[in-house]
Structure 1
Amino acid sequence: MPSPSAYPQLAGRLFEIAQEGRVFPDSKTFVDCVPVEEPGSIRERFTAEYEGEDGELDDVVDGDLDLAGFVHENFTLPEDPVTAADPSTTSMEWYIDGLWPHLIRDPIDRREGETVIPLPNRSVIPGGRFRESYYWDSYFVAEGLAVAGRVDVVEDIVENFASLIDRFGFIPNGNRLYYTTRSNPPCFHLLLDLLSDERGPGIARQYLPHLEREYEFWMDGADGLERGEAYRRVVGLEEGVLNRYWDDQPRPRPESYREDVELAERVDREPESIYRDVRAACESGWDFSSRWFDGEGIETIHATDRVPVDLNALLYGTERSIARWYDDEDPETAAEYREAAEARRAAIDRYCWDPEREFYFDHSRSRGDRTDSWTLAGVVPLFSGAASQEQADAVAETLEERFLRPGGLVTSLRYSGEQWDAPNGWAPLQWMAIVGLRRYDHSELAQEIAGRWLDLNREVFERTGRMLEKYDVTGGRGEGGGGEYPLQFGFGWTNGVALALPRLFY
């Protein structure tokens, strides 16, 4: 597969000028465009028409630069296929069922000049500006697909992810070339568990080598890591090794190039440092949240400084799943993974559990202590089974007292203007909280959260005819907001969780 630098909509002078010149309001639009002919020819035409001998833009010799016209002439724009429904003629559930044909994509072959990564089987996109499949989104989508009787699509998703692991050594954030330097919260083991429940353990066990290879990606550099050191996604602490989010490319994100460059210009730090922290937060899926900030805004982002409780809880689940799959054929290897899981659980307790506040927090390496950010990342140890009963009881009480709102659970207790903070609620976090609470016998609270969330989904749908990416759970009209881009519709994981939640209780 060609390097991203070979694509004029990902790198080079045309790319930089188009993004900085705001040809499209959303920076992601240009990187998703498809060249109408061979990319090299477009580069040559741009150079011939708009650059002088010194390589600088020359709009004196060649006339005023009509950059938007050049882009529209040489690229096909991406489409948003998802439309609103008439809620007077259909229910929320029927609308979701009717959306699957719009969100499920056929196998993707390599097409000249397109930034989409080929996939051998069907995939599911979230919708809106998200025109490709995403790693952790796909797990929550799959839970809904299983309820809808579309386990065949779940099998396709798993096979696609195995193919990506074969090619890249991990599952990229999304199936675009510009996402291949980072992953997403590790949910592959959850997909295998779901598939095993639906089809039997034999079909999922064949992907054990892929699950182990993904685990090796997250643990790269752990052997021999000294206390206080960090390498890529591993962090050496006094009482063991834990993980952090990371990205291997310290440059502006192509899909948010203008935003990143402008951010770096406002911050008194090395640009490479700010770019790395921004990208690491994107690997977390929480792009962006005050949990990554040392101060009042994104200018203070230090995501690589954090040891995130949610990431380590999911890797605990990965270790437990691998051990379980090895039980029958290799008990010795199974025991090694269980030992690793228990060591991680002890380290999560040491660095992320706060016995005084009785809740889980991210650990700050620079501070040498837990952060002050109350967020729903603290429910993931319950979801993965890493919490004790006493810890789960305390978390349940905190959720009810601090996080519960009329529309479900609020993402954090801070109003920062970022989308992964108050007043927003997100389907994946509702799901993990509800499943985690039920796991520790807090079913009444779990059902209350689920009911409030589904009631909000339905109320907004019946008023707008749409399923939303995120919701304002604190009251009012319910539409979420904040962040880098406008509210999106579709929406993959919201649909999946809306279908899957009722099955937990009935």
Structure 2
Amino acid sequence: MLHSTRQSNPRPYRRLTRACHPPAHHSTTLENINQLHRSSKDQSEFIIKAQPLNMKQLIYCGGSLLDAVQKARLFQDCKHFVDMPLKADAESTLRAWQTLLSSGQIDEASLRQFVATYFDEPGGELDDFRPNDFDPECKKFDAISCPLYRQWAKELHRKWPTLCRKVSDRVLADPNRFSLIALPKPFVVPGGRFREMYYWDSFFTIKGLLASGMHETVRGMIENMGHLIDTFGYVPNGNRVYYLNRSQPPLLTWCLAAYYEATGDKEFLLTGARWFERELEFFQTRRSIQLPGVASPLYRYCVVADGPRPESYREDMESAEHIQDLFEKQRLWGDIAAAAESGRDFSSRWFSRDGPVAGKMGSTRTSSILPVDLNAIICGNWRLMADMYEAMGDPASAEHCRHNFDAMRLAIHQVFWNEECGCWFDFDIVSGRHVADYMDTNFFPLFTGCTHDEFIVEIFWCLINGRQCVSKSFCKIYGISHNVSMYIFVYKLNVC
């Protein structure tokens, strides 16, 4: 069993009744941000160049063919086109496209004909799969005392076979004709237009599969994540080539810890150690920032993009219509992709509060925000890694992880904790100030066990309740009344 690292030396908590006014500190200039952006671009290009160039990426990830098809609105959903398999190899398709392009005879009819000739309909890359460990009865749910919850749990359980997929033999035989990245084991998909395995979603899926006793399926999904890390050095947003410029919250360690907690499978724990080590190295190298005087590096969502997201091409083009400078357009497209990397696409949490497009997608500035939740997750990774190394009989590695856990706990307290409000807040690295909104993500240090030594949870909740931050207003939709969003329940609590 895994045990949380204990915290010690609690001190009496000073309750403040004044309004919350986050202090300004750790200010970062605009030039610093530009340097960070250029550095991130160099790092991103290194990742891309480290992988062999694949011609299909010139079709699915950018280029004149993608631009022409998406702008022509041949399909209502931009994702439809980039999920379409090729009928011929990528080289032949690109040569045919260049011939058509050179002719100067491109209109909607010729474009439709070209797509019909060289592309198949999406969806054939995956086969339905009935999990071997699925038990339709799942007697364990009979122990749920509430009839409504018991029925609900059983209904959810029965959905697993409808969402489980495996990569088809067509993809394995000729992977270069598909935007899908082949995975070795079956996996659960979100459903609908989302026909692939998503990283962020898979954590919650795995928690549900473990509740259903489907340990074999969970192990397979973790092995898929490990396969992606072995291949790319990180887990992409999803297993499509157009998701390769971004990851999502690094929850592999949490998945592995939950699986070990449920099964005691130490052999698999030993296998998985290299995966959580390599993923953490990716975030340390590609997503970290060191603020002056702070005990540990902290992390942000940060994606460098040369163009719009292929699966949301038109939407991203429209979001950047107000920008003339190409560098600034690319910065915005990167920040929109970084919002997708956060798993919360899209939330007004990432939008600017000022300017002509304030509160809209065109003001997205994700990379300028240090998020509480991402840093709490990575801090929790250090704690879980220490526990798992201890279970594997490696006390030296466990001690190293505990040291980093304690350093990052201190950094979270230094940067995100606001004593006057008695809560954690996202940190704006441009203004050097907290983003003074209460949101569900503010509370992640509680979930991940990354609170500071002086923290007393009972007094914390008394303070929060005393400010009436957690009440009916918790369900108030925040800042998206005029936006179409995949996540319509991004909550804002009352401001102090």
- Could you tell me which residue of structure 1 aligns to residue 371 of structure 2? 308
Give the partner amino acid of 2:364: I
- SS of match in other structure, 2:102: coil
Deviation of the 1:327 alpha carbon = 2.5
Determine if the alignment matches structure 1 residue 233 to structure 2 residue 296: no
Q: CA 1:147–1:99 in 2, change beyond 3 Å: closer, same or farther?
A: same
Gaps of 5+ in 1: 83-89, 221-230, 430-506
Check if 1:263 corresponds to 2:319.
yes
Deviations for 1:205-238, whole angstroms, at most 9, x for unmatched residues? 3311211111111111xxxxxxxxxx64334343
Matches of 2:274 and 2:367, distance apart in 1 = 28
User: SS at 2:291's partner residue?
Assistant: strand
TM-aligned CA distance change 1:213 to 1:95, over 3 Å = same
**Cα distance between partner residues in 2 of 1:104 and 1:8:** 28
Give the match for residue 356 of structure 1: 420
Per the alignment, residue 441 of structure 1 pairs with: none
SS at match of 1:52: helix
The answer to which of 117-126 and 255-264 deviates more is 255-264
Partner of 2:165: 105
The whole-number CA distance in structure 2 between the counterparts of 1:211 and 1:272 is: 31
Change in CA separation of 1:149 and 1:396 when aligned onto 2, cut-off 3 Å = farther
Equivalent residue for 2:97, pick from 39, 46, 49: 46
Q: Is the 8 A contact 1:403 1:412 kept in 2?
A: no
Residues 231-289 of structure 1, C-alpha deviations (whole Å, 9 max, x = no match): 64334343132111112434321111222222222236621211221121111111111
Q: Could you tell me which amino acid in structure 2 is paired with residue 394 of structure 1?
A: F
Alignment of 1:211 onto 2:276: yes
Conserved? CA contact 1:29–1:78, under 8 Å: yes
User: 2 CA distance for matches of 1:297 and 1:418?
Assistant: 7
The one-letter code matched in structure 2 to 1:349 is H
Residues 237, 131 of structure 1: alpha-carbon distance in 2 compared, 3 angstrom cutoff: farther
Q: Does the Cα contact within 8 Å between 2:382 and 2:401 map onto a contact in 1? A: yes
Structure 1 residues 38, 145: closer, same or farther in 2, change over 3 A? same
Partner of 1:462: none
2:122 pairs with 1:78:
yes
Query: Which of 246, 254, 273 is the matching residue for 2:302?
Result: 246
1:95 Cα deviation after fit: 4.3
Equivalent in 184, 207, 211 of residue 147 of structure 1: 211
TM score, norm. by length of structure 1: 0.72
SS at match of 2:207: helix
Q: d(CA) in 2 for partners of 1:343 and 1:124?
A: 36
Amino acid paired to 1:75:
F
Which protein has greater RCO, CA pairs closer than 8 Å, 6+ apart? Answer: 2
Give secondary structure in 2 for the equivalent of 1:106.
strand
**Can you list the C-alpha shifts for 1:88-130, whole angstroms capped at 9, x where unaligned?**
xx96545433432231112463534101111111111111111
Go from structure 1 to structure 2 and tell me whether the alpha carbon gap of 1:381 and 1:419 turns closer, same or farther (over 3 Å shift).
Answer: farther
Alpha-carbon distance in 1 for matches of 2:487, 2:177: 40
1:369-406 alpha-carbon deviations (Å, 9 max, x no partner): 11123321112111101125535753586489445559
Superposed CA deviations along residues 464-485 of structure 1, whole A, max 9, x for unmatched, are xxxxxxxxxxxxxxxxxxxxxx
Change (3 A) 1:411 1:29: farther
Q: Judge conservation of contact 1:382–1:392 (CA < 8 Å) in 2.
A: no
AA of the residue aligned to 1:130: F
Alpha-carbon distance in 2 for matches of 1:32, 1:404 = 43
Aligned pairs (5 A) from 1:444-463 = none
- CA distance, structure 2, for counterparts of residue 378 and residue 30 of structure 1: 38
2:256 maps to: 192
Which blocks of at least 5 consecutive residues in structure 2 are unaligned? 1-51, 129-149, 354-358
The Cα offsets for residues 63-84 of structure 1, whole Å up to 9 and x where unpaired, read as 76442343234322224999xx
> Cα 1:12–1:124, aligned 2, differ >3 Å: closer, same or farther?
same
Please give the alpha-carbon distance, in whole angstroms, between the structure 2 residues aligned to 1:252 and 1:210. Answer: 30
2:89 pairs with 1:31:
no
When normalised by structure 2's length, the TM-score is: 0.73
- In 2: Cα distance, 1:149 partner to 1:233 partner: 37
| Letter aligned with residue 235 of structure 2 | I
What is the aligned length? 401
Which of residues 256, 260, 281 in structure 1 aligns to 2:339? 281
Q: CA deviation at 1:51?
A: 2.4
Looking at structure 2, the residues matched to 100 and 290 of structure 1 have their Cα atoms a distance apart, in angstroms, of 33
Instruction: Spell out, residue by residue over 1:313-354, the C-alpha distance to the aligned partner (whole angstroms, 9 max, x if none).
Output: 000111111111222633233222111111111111121122
- Counterpart amino acid of 2:114? F
| Distance in 1 separating the partners of 2:304 and 2:79 | 20
Aligned-partner residue type, residue 378 of structure 1: N
Q: Which runs of 4+ in 1 moved over 6 A?
A: 419-422
Other-structure match for 1:317: 380
User: For residues 423 and 410 of structure 1, do their structure 2 counterparts lie closer, same or farther at Cα, with a shift above 3 Å needed?
Assistant: farther
Is the Cα–Cα contact under 8 Å of residues 359 and 395 in structure 1 kept in the other structure? Answer: no
Question: Per the alignment, do residues 51 and 305 of structure 1 end up closer, same or farther by CA in structure 2, a change over 3 Å counting?
Answer: same
Q: Which amino acid aligns with 1:99?
A: K
- Matches of 1:106 and 1:164, distance apart in 2: 15
Q: Does the 8 Å CA contact 1:412/1:420 hold for their aligned counterparts?
A: no
Aligned residue for 1:35, secondary structure, equals: coil
Counterpart Cα distance in 1 of 2:410 and 2:294: 9
Aligned in 2, Cα 1:312/1:419: closer, same or farther, shift over 3 Å? farther
What residue number does 1:385 align with? 449
1:294 aligns with 2:352: yes
> Offset at 1:4?
5.9
Note the alpha carbon deviations across 1:406-439, whole angstroms, 9 max, x for none: 9xx548643454567995169xx9xxxxxxxxxx
Q: Distance in 1 between matches of 2:86 and 2:487?
A: 40
Structure 1 letter corresponding to 2:439: T
**What residue is the counterpart of 1:125 in the other structure?**
189
Counterpart-to-counterpart distance in 2, 1:238 and 1:72: 59
- Output the CA distance in 2 between the equivalents of 1:337 and 1:127: 37
Q: State the percentage of identical aligned residues.
A: 31
Q: Secondary structure at the match of 2:177?
A: coil
Q: Which residue of 2 aligns with 1:466?
A: none
Alignment partners' CA distance in 1, 2:152 and 2:119? 36
Aligned match of 1:58: 105
SS in 2 for 1:173: coil
Output the amino acid matched with 2:302.
Answer: W
Identify which range, 254-263 or 391-400, moves more after superposition.
Answer: 391-400
Structure 2: how far apart are the matches of 1:423 and 1:398?
Answer: 24
For 2:221, the aligned partner's letter is: I
Q: Which moved more, 1:386-395 or 1:302-311?
A: 386-395
Q: 1:393 to 1:425 in 2, by over 3 A?
A: farther
Amino acid at match of 1:162: G
